[in-house]
């Protein structure tokens, strides 16, 4: 269920992922996820915790093992030099040359992503040495240039620092420098501003926009914050219970959502409350170990009707880059 982007950098088709739960059973956490992102475009992946956002990023990066197994789909990445490559068909060794070089990821919490016993310059240099073959003075210069690009003052001193010696915002900039050091074609940002205060969050979002304009890279921005989506995204994919339930350009989605879950998310925003009591979505995210036979949002949906409980809604392409998975999308 994806409006095709022109000349996509990444084209995710039917990505299906199973995990092993604590009891040893198999749980399907992704059901045929489709996504495309073009060069210079930011696609925001939105949904509550447990909807499958991070599982999607792990599947794209092939970081789902040992507990996860990809059982279907393809992840086509434009290489720039030849035909697109399916990341899911690459060997483990070949995939290590892709991660960091062509696809990079910024994680949510820098203190758990950076190695606490190595200086930050050493960690950035390791990626540059592996993927670009730099050594000696050329390596040192590239490390300092990476730190300077993300707005870190006095990069010589910061490169010699350990992660715990930096502030939270500075550590997040180091993670961005590490992710962008080898000029990837696709950047996956998994809630990179959640742990930051509002001022630093705005600085990080502005930094990502500036670097994206300069490099023309594609960004998959994973978040649960619709306020962040409004700031940074060109298009939005709304996820629920391991499925994409709606996709649209950001302005169109905010103006007229075509799925009850999207509408419920927007109505829970303070800015949409018009001074009235905030609306809440009743219940909680469906237990993926026991999914309902029909629409997963049906138990919480104010518009649910007879077909919703027994039949999974088909994906409807609505034109103008929009798509919805709802029996009653036309009534919204």
Cis peptide before 66 (omega within 30 of 0): yes
Please check the confidence at residue 5 and state whether its pLDDT lies above 80: no
**Residue 277, pLDDT above cutoff 80:** no
Arithmetic mean of pLDDT, 198-216: 90
HEC assignment per residue over 69-82: EEEEEEEEECCCCC
Q: Please give the domain boundaries of the chain with CATH numbers for all domains.
A: 8-102+184-331 (3.40.50.300), 103-183 (no CATH)
- Angle (nearest 5°) at CA 120 between 117 and 125: 110
Which pLDDT value is given to residue 268? 84
Say if residue 159's pLDDT is above 80: yes
Q: How far is CA 35 from its chain centroid? A: 11
Contact present, 209 and 189 (Cβ < 8 Å): no
- Express each pLDDT in 259-276 by its tens digit: 999 999 998 887 654 556
The burial class, CB within 10 Å (0-12 / 13-18 / 19+), for 45 is: buried
For the chain, what percentages of helix, strand and coil (3-state, to nearest 5) are there? 35, 25, 40
E strand or H helix that includes residue 104: strand 103-106
* pLDDT score of 292: 87
187 forms beta bridges with 104, 219
Mean pLDDT to the nearest integer, 160-170: 93
Are 195 and 109 within 8 A, CB to CB? yes
User: What is the pLDDT, as a whole number, of residue 275?
Assistant: 56
Confidence of residue 317 (pLDDT cuts 50, 70, 90): very high
3-class secondary structure for 131-191?
Answer: HHCCCHHHHHHHHHHHHHHCCCCCHHHHHCCCHHHCCHHHHHHHHHHHHHCCCCCEEEEEC
Nearest to 227 by CA among 174, 271, 264, 164: 271
* Distance of alpha carbon 192 from the chain centroid: 10
d(CA 42, CA 220): 6
Question: Of residues 273 and 65, which shows the higher confidence score?
Answer: 65
Task: Return the H-helix or E-strand segment holding 93.
Answer: helix 92-98
Q: How many CB atoms lie within 10 A of CB 299?
A: 15
Task: Output the pLDDT for position 6.
Answer: 60
Question: For the stretch 192-218, what's the b/e string if a residue is b when 16 or more beta carbons lie within 10 angstroms of its beta carbon?
Answer: bbebbeeebbebbbebbeebbeeeebb
pLDDT score of 222: 95
Task: Give me the sheet containing 68-77, strands edge to edge.
Answer: 26-38, 8-20, 68-77, 85-86
Q: What distance in Å separates the CA atoms of residue 221 and residue 79, rounded to the nearest whole number? A: 21
Q: Which residues contact 296 (CB under 8 A, 6 or more apart)?
A: 240, 241, 242, 243, 286
Bridge partners, residue 190, by sequence: 222
Is residue 26 within 8 Å of 48, Cβ to Cβ? Answer: no
For residues 164-193, give the mean pLDDT: 92
Give the pLDDT confidence score for residue 271 in this predicted structure.
Answer: 65
């Amino acid at each position: 269920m994806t409006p095709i982007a022109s000349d996509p950098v990444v084209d995710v088709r039917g990505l299906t992922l199973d995990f092993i739960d604590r009891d040893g059973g198999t749980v399907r956490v992704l059901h045929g996820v489709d996504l495309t992102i073009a060069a210079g475009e930011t696609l925001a992946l939105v949904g509550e915790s447990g909807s499958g956002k991070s599982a999607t990023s792990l599947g794209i990066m092939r970081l789902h093992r040992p507990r996860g197994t990809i059982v279907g789909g393809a992840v086509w990445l434009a290489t720039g030099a030849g035909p697109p490559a399916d990341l899911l068909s690459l060997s483990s060794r070949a995939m290590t040359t892709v991660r960091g070089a062509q696809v990079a990821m910024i994680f949510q919490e820098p203190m758990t992503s950076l190695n606490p016993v190595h200086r930050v310059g050493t960690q950035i240099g390791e990626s540059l040495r592996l993927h670009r073959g730099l050594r000696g003075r050329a390596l040192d210069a590239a490390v300092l240039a990476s730190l300077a690009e993300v707005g870190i003052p006095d990069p010589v001193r910061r490169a010699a620092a350990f992660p715990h010696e930096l502030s939270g915002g500075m550590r997040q900039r180091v993670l961005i420098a590490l992710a962008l050091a080898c000029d990837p074609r696709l950047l996956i940002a998994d809630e990179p501003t959640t742990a930051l205060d509002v001022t630093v969050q705005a600085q990080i979002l502005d930094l990502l926009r500036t670097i994206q304009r300069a490099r023309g890279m594609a960004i998959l921005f994973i978040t649960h914050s619709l306020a962040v989506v409004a700031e940074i995204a060109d298009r939005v994919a709304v996820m629920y219970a391991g499925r994409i339930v709606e996709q649209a350009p950001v302005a169109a989605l905010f103006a007229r959502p075509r799925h009850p879950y999207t509408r419920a998310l927007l109505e829970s925003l303070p800015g949409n409350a018009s001074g009235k009591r905030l609306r809440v979505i009743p219940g909680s995210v469906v237990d993926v170990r026991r999914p309902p036979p029909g629409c997963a949002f049906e138990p919480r949906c104010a518009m649910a009707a007879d077909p919703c409980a027994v039949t999974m809604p088909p994906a409807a392409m609505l034109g103008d880059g929009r798509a919805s998975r709802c029996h009653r999308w036309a009534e919204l």
